[in-house]
Amino acid sequence: MKKVAILANGGDVSGFNAVIRGIVKTAENNGIKCYGVIEGYKGLLENNYIELDSYSNASGILYKGGSIIGSSTNANVFNYKVEEDGKIVYKDLSDICVKNVKKDGFDCIFTLGGDGTQKSARDLYLKGLNIIGVPKTIDNDVACTDITFGYNTAVSVAMEALDRLHSTGETHHRIMVLEVMGRYAGWIALESAIAGGGDVALIPEIPFDLKKVAKKIKERIKKGKRFSLVVVAEGAMPKDGEITVKSTRNNGTGVDNTKLGGIGEKVAEELQKLTGLEARNTTLGYMQRGGTPTAYDRVLSTKYGAKAMELALEGKFGVLTVLKNGKLDSVPLEKVVGKNKEIGAVSGNTKESNLRRVTMDDDLVKTARNIGISLGD
């Protein structure tokens, strides 16, 4: 093994750079040259990469948000948007990527990304490339691992927002609603509600009844607490209701282009009517993805990066680096991809995706219930 390359793909998270640093340093310590593919799969297609060096361009990056090699949210190389005769068409250009990687002699490509990225990674592995995935996303919804990098930072940002909403809510006797990200999984909402002293956590896995939530808030009023903190996951929905879609995003074909958002505002309006308390919504948005990673994410990302390079040295390809019961491990990408077996089949957060959602026997659910956090059911 002489040359390896890293690509970061999908929505950014805090910790991208810490993983890159972990891979680069481990590679250097084993006499291997490490390269960074610019803007994810787009860079693989365009053969655009730079050499990374922990004493120059990959130095001082541990604490930095974003990605020093960029990331792409709309580069599905199996279904790539191209203009032909003034018309937009979608083409499978994955063979170009395979050719580029082989021509330039990369012995391994590390794919840092969520389920969509790992689906393409598995497909490229089946086409003959040596691939090792690293699980990224603030949503914490990648299958087969206990945790993804970037998630802990997102939870911490949401927790800090709750601390701040707590004091203003208490002062003005208001219901403070915080809408957080997470797509179809409620991890961020649930864990930040526990960390930030939330009274209510509404998650996609438990369709809610706002009358039940209002009951909880009224009980608090009776006991002298004339304010409440309500955390709402962007993918939460009422019983017999629908998920709230804000708009459509442009992430290419074959991926989920639903832009979630807006449920926080609806919940605040409804709770104001049901309780008589004033309610205000705050949508946290991209604050959850940017900025410096927490200590936990720096360590997790470094562990993932070093482990990924270790797996490459062992010649173990077509796998995802994971954390299982607190221990680093690896699982075949095939398992992560789940039902999306076909090469080039739809990738990303779709009905067929193998997403890891909150289950009712999870300790977070039990803890929330034990301490009286209303889950809206």
CA 307/CA 310 separation, integer angstroms: 5
* Length of the chain counted residue by residue: 377
Closer CB to ligand F6P, residue 11 or residue 169? 11
Closer CB to ligand F6P, residue 152 or residue 228? 152
Strand-by-strand arrangement of the 200-202 sheet: 200-202, 228-233, 174-180, 278-283
Specify the 3-state DSSP secondary structure of 275: helix
Closer CB to ligand F6P, residue 133 or residue 182? 182
Residue with smallest beta-carbon separation from ligand F6P: 181
Specify the 3-state DSSP secondary structure of 258: strand
Strands annotated E in the chain: 3-8, 33-37, 49-52, 80-84, 87-91, 108-113, 131-135, 174-180, 200-202, 228-233, 245-248, 258-260, 278-283, 319-324, 327-332
**Two tokens, residue 9:** 């793909």
Closer CB to ligand F6P, residue 18 or residue 255? 255
**Two tokens, residue 114:** 């969520």
CA–CA distances in Å: residue 82 to residues 78, 86, 100, 343: 12, 10, 19, 20
CA 288/CA 148 separation, integer angstroms: 14
Q: How far apart are CB 150 and ligand F6P at their closest, in Å?
A: 9
- Report whether 155 contacts 195 (CB < 8 A): yes
Q: How far apart are CB 39 and ligand F6P at their closest, in Å?
A: 14
Specify the 3-state DSSP secondary structure of 89: strand
Q: Which of 123, 139, 141, 256 is catalytic?
A: 139
Instruction: Reply yes or no on whether 139 is catalytic.
Output: yes
Closer CB to ligand F6P, residue 246 or residue 273? 246
Q: How far apart are CB 340 and ligand F6P at their closest, in Å?
A: 17
Q: Which residues bind ligand F6P (CB under 6 A)?
A: 11, 73, 137-139, 181-183, 234, 249, 259-260, 289
Q: How far apart are CB 10 and ligand F6P at their closest, in Å?
A: 7
- Report whether 229 contacts 179 (CB < 8 A): no
Q: Which residues are catalytic?
A: 139
